[in-house]
Amino acid sequence: MTPTPLTVGFDLDMTLIDSRPGIKAVYEALVAETGAAIDTDLVVSRLGPPLEEELANWLPAAEVPAVADRYREIYPSYAITPTLALPGAREAVEAIRARGGRTLVVTAKYEPNAKLHLAHLGIEPDVIVGNLWAERKAVALKEHGATVYVGDHIGDVRGARAANAVSVAVATGPCGAEELRDAGADVVLTSLTELPAWLDAYRP
């Protein structure tokens, strides 16, 4: 039998990229425009869930859709340049390609902005899918045949498990290693720098 090619999915924020400086700048611009009382340091300490869920903590429900639209509109001007690739991000994607595999990014972030980040940083997955969070990430993971999903948040663990994919968690985001294990992660790595070695040992 011909083995199925390896297909690995990645989350974006705090898995492949450290977007905290850029996202903080966007929120600070929104505060200046709207006068909303938003604790931007708290916001960037818990990245992962969809934008609207975070904005609902700071704004009346009726205002959230318009402010979310404005956030996405100004995001490229503030967030792309300050954002850095996390250690091992490029190497992790290339390691899968070197093993004959395919990669996809599945993120809750607005897809056009996700694409801007990856292009700016020279990270080149085969597929990029935005606007999916937690269990809904399984839609894209299943569609593209991902057998492994790498993320930093318990929402990513939930997405992997909903797709019957191996959940590889990296403790580079808001969720610690113990929390990720308790959520059901199959593997917990300190960072993506450890992923190539894990791939060498991985047998589907």
How far apart CA 120 and CA 26 sit, in angstroms, is 17
Q: What is the pTM of this model?
A: 0.95
How large is the greatest C-alpha to C-alpha distance in the chain, in angstroms? 62
Instruction: List the structure tokens of 72.
Output: 């996405």
Where do runs of H (alpha helix) occur along 48-88?
Answer: 51-55, 64-79
What pLDDT does 204 receive?
78
What is the pLDDT tens value at each position of the chain, 204 positions in all? 545 789 999 999 999 999 999 999 999 999 999 999 999 999 999 999 999 999 999 999 999 999 999 999 999 999 999 999 999 999 999 999 999 999 999 999 999 999 999 999 999 999 999 999 999 999 999 999 999 999 999 999 999 999 999 999 999 999 999 999 999 999 999 999 999 999 999 987
How far apart CA 109 and CA 115 sit, in angstroms, is 10
Instruction: List the structure tokens of 154.
Output: 């318990």
Beta strand 84-85 with 17-18: parallel, antiparallel or unpaired?
antiparallel
What pLDDT does 184 receive?
98
DSSP class of residue 44 equals H
Instruction: List the structure tokens of 9.
Output: 């999915």
Q: What are phi and psi of 187, to 5 degrees?
A: -140, 140
3-state secondary structure 135-201: HHHHHHHHHCCCCEEEECCHHHHHHHHHCCCEEEEECCCCCCHHHHHHHCCCEEECCHHHHHHHHHH
